[in-house]
Amino acid sequence: MNTVQVQDPATFGRVAVVMGGWSAERPVSLDSGKAVHAALVSKGVDAQQVDVDRRRLLDLAREGFDRVWLALHGPGGEDGIAQSALELQGLPYTGSGVLACALSMDKARCKALWAARGIPTPAHQLVDVAAQPAEIVDMLGLPLFVKPSHEGSSIGMSRVDRQDQLPAAIAEAARYDSEVLVEQFVDGPEYTAAIIEDRSLPLIHIETPRRFYDYEAKYAADNTLYHCPSGLDAEREASLQRLCRRAFDVIGGRGWGRLDFMLDRSGNPWFLEMNASPGMTSHSLVPTAAQAVGMDFGALAWRILESTLGGEESRC
């Protein structure tokens, strides 16, 4: 994508900052959307907050919007559904297209594609509430992570250290999704990599005193630490950034996104998931990485919006 460099905010026309939606990540989406809207307005963009439901999502062109800054998270927002609705209306939008969003939101299929293309990802299995805990432990060992296959923000996610904890963890994940993913534990530090078009931003090393980087650690806790610079040496970081870029491209990512991975005790990377519509809140990681290279929140929101001017071709 060849991004147009914009000087005049009027070039963008009327921009819908689409937020809210109907997923369990609605509160995070509202926070992201309000922050993006404020940043764009401060730069003179004719932007409006649009808290969408299924009906209004199909009416944005009729309402006179020229393009969309997508701040939706979770099912309905970053799984290809919103992107499909915007494609049908011919509205340019931020972020990846329909297929990449659908793949990135579906953890099991994303991992299957990564594994087929040589991108390391932890061993995993799709299960349901009737799954036999002993069989799962025999296959994947302990500890384990249990999560809904189509949710983000660690919603419905549990760490399991004992076999007898598995049924409750699976039941909790099944509250949010009919498909539950059980994933092998990786013992090591967690990192995240932000990508803005052709640029890989500095890696962030995440530390939390909690049992894992859960919803509370992401959005509420004040004792979660984000190390940027990451503490890795320059050559190692550059190598990991290249692998992150490859993982992004394998899924078909466009515009911007974020990849989460862990390093095991031997220093080997294991990719957990790709976020096609990352958070843009005060606790979010893409703004943190952007700030490390001198790009403030307003410049970041503007840069992402510029990507919608890179061509009007379908992004499916």
Task: For the chain, give the number of residues.
Answer: 316
| CB-CB contact of 315 with 87 (8 Å) | yes
- 219 tagged catalytic: yes
In the block, residue with structure tokens 């969309």: 68
Quick check: is 279 catalytic? yes
- Among the listed residues 20, 21, 23, 25, the single catalytic one is 25
14 a catalytic residue: no
Catalytic residue, chosen from 74, 95, 152, 279, is: 279
Q: Which of 78, 106, 183, 260 is catalytic?
A: 260
Burial class (CB in 10 A: 0-12, 13-18, 19+), 66: middle
260 belongs to the catalytic site: yes
Integer Cα distance of 285 and 233 in angstroms: 20
CA neighbours within 13 Å on the CB side: how many for 167? 4
Torsion angle defined by CA atoms of residues 276, 151, 219 and 51, in that order, rounded to the nearest 10 degrees: 70
How many helices and strands (H and E) does the chain possess?
11, 13
Q: How far apart are CA 8 and CA 1, in angstroms?
A: 20
- Catalytic residue from among 23, 153, 200, 277: 153
* Residue 237 a catalytic site member: no
Catalytic residue among 96, 97, 219, 284: 219
Given the residues 32, 104, 275, 284, select the one marked as catalytic.
275
Among 86, 6, 36, 131, which Cα is nearest to 315's? 86
> What is the edge-to-edge ordering of all strands in the sheet holding 180-184?
124-127, 180-184, 144-148, 158-160
| Choice among 273, 277, 303, 307 that is catalytic | 273
Helix (H, G, I), strand (E, B) or coil at 153: coil
> Does the annotation count 78 as an active-site position?
no
Quote the CA–CA distance of 162 and 101 in Å, as a whole number.
34
Active-site hit among 26, 254, 258, 315: 258
242 is catalytic: no
Catalytically annotated residues: 25, 153, 219, 258, 260, 273, 275, 279
